[in-house]
Amino acid sequence: MRFVRNPVLITRVFFVLITTLIGYWVGRDQVPSYGLEYSTVAFLLALAFVLFEFSTDIVSSKKILLAAAGLMCGLVIAWFVYPTIPPGVFGDVKDFEKGQMKARIICNLLFGYFGVILAIKHANRFSFSRLNFIMASPGDTAKILDTSVIVDGRIKELMAGNFMTGNFVVPEFVLDELQKIADSSDSKKRARGRRGLDVLDSIKDTSARLAIWEKDFPEIKDVDHKLIALAKETGGEIVTNDFNLQKVAQLHKVRVININEMANLLRPSVFVGESLALIVSREGKEPQQGVGYLEDGTMVVVEEARPHIGGEVEVQVTSILQTPAGRMIFARMTEAPLNHDSASQRNAGNGGDTPLPRRARERV
């Protein structure tokens, strides 16, 4: 039953039988007594082909393809070389055709062998991912993902919504770094690494534009500098959340897309003098300061708001500070808390301790 359910095995047996019968038929057609000899030779040749085909399951598809390309290159070189060899080297000078035939066979064997061997030996230096950049249209610039943006996870939604186009590349050394983080003894690092690997799995399942770049830069030790070298080689862009990597890459004339900067640009605009309503969630660093957060997570530092922690107040924006990490707003109160009574009741019920909102807890 296992034999019947294995179509590959059936095909192999069928090929050997048909080849043996064809060999017998060709032998009988030449000389009636040669049928057995020809069928035996055909059987051995068919068996050799099947064994060769079976060995391809062990060798990677990449090496098989490169070996075939190397063989073709070797045969092309042999085609141009063998006519230049004098006939007397491999036979009688008078028998020109026989000498040329021997020269052709020997050149095909030698150059074909060298083509296959060189292709297999140097297969690891060749990356099919590079073909994505060669064959891609000019508008499809490669986006090289670094570790921070993979762990962050927002790249998945950007790709799914087609807000970022082009070919997305994850270098092998970035995968290695993710694996090390996922295997860390620190529980927080381990969780971040596993989240990054899960993000890659979900992207790979839903997007055909993601490729793994196999080539490494062994002479470069730092992952950030490897990313810059890869971007220079491919003409791609680095997608990251790392502000320091962004600055170094820009010094090397490499274009960088920072997801945090994109998020900051998409936040609603706030102007000096504008009035805002927010909940004062905790005290600030300076005396009488209170801190609240807008819906998008922007921190607002409010003067004279400490007595109103837990209450909703109306404030007026006095200044805005833009930093690489995001935006910070400074404001002053314009009136008493909008829900002062309810805030006081909550404080009294909790013994004066007001639980921080989720966004506030994340930023503490």
In order of their start, the domains of the chain are: 7-125 (no CATH), 138-265 (3.40.50.1010), 275-363 (2.40.50.140)
What DSSP letter does each residue of 253-303 carry, written as one string? T--EEEHHHHHHHTSPP--TT-EEEEEEEEE-SSTT-EEEE-TT--EEEEE
Residue 168 forms beta bridges with which residues? 143, 210
Digit-by-digit pLDDT tens for the chain (364 residues) are: 444 456 777 887 888 888 888 888 877 777 777 777 778 888 888 888 877 777 666 566 667 788 888 889 988 998 888 788 776 665 555 666 766 777 787 888 888 888 888 887 777 666 555 555 444 444 457 889 999 999 988 888 888 877 877 788 898 899 999 999 999 888 888 999 999 899 888 887 665 578 888 778 888 889 999 999 988 888 889 999 988 999 999 999 999 999 888 877 777 778 888 888 889 999 888 888 999 988 777 889 999 888 888 888 889 999 988 776 678 899 998 865 555 444 444 444 444 444 444 333 333 3
Is the pTM value of this prediction over 0.85? no
> Looking at residue 341, what is its pLDDT?
46
DSSP-H helix ranges across the chain: 7-30, 35-55, 61-81, 96-121, 129-135, 147-152, 154-160, 172-182, 187-206, 223-234, 243-251, 259-265, 340-349, 358-363
Q: How far apart are CA 355 and CA 358, in angstroms?
A: 9
Picking from 245, 249, 254, 269, the residue whose alpha carbon sits closest to that of residue 324 is 245
Residue 280 forms beta bridges with which residues? 292
Residue 181 forms beta bridges with which residues? none
> Looking at residue 126, what is its pLDDT?
65
CA atoms within 13 A on the CB side of 82: 24
For 347, the token pair is: 């404080």
Q: Cβ(313)–Cβ(333) under 8 Å?
A: yes
Q: Cβ(107)–Cβ(78) under 8 Å?
A: yes
Q: Cβ(235)–Cβ(228) under 8 Å?
A: no
Q: How far apart are CA 337 and CA 269, in angstroms?
A: 24
Picking from 281, 278, 362, 286, the residue whose alpha carbon sits closest to that of residue 326 is 362
Q: Cβ(312)–Cβ(326) under 8 Å?
A: no
Q: Which residues contact 220 (CB under 8 A, 6 or more apart)?
A: 226, 229
Picking from 343, 279, 332, the residue whose alpha carbon sits closest to that of residue 302 is 332
Q: Which residues contact 27 (CB under 8 A, 6 or more apart)?
A: 34, 35, 36, 37, 38, 39
Q: Cβ(103)–Cβ(85) under 8 Å?
A: yes
Q: How far apart are CA 163 and CA 346, in angstroms?
A: 43
Q: What is the signed CA dihedral for 196, 202, 208, 210, rounded to 10 degrees?
A: 0
Burial of 86 (0-12, 13-18, 19+ CB in 10 A): exposed
| Single-letter amino acid code for the residue at 161 | G
Sheet holding 168-171, edge to edge: 210-213, 168-171, 143-145, 237-240, 256-258
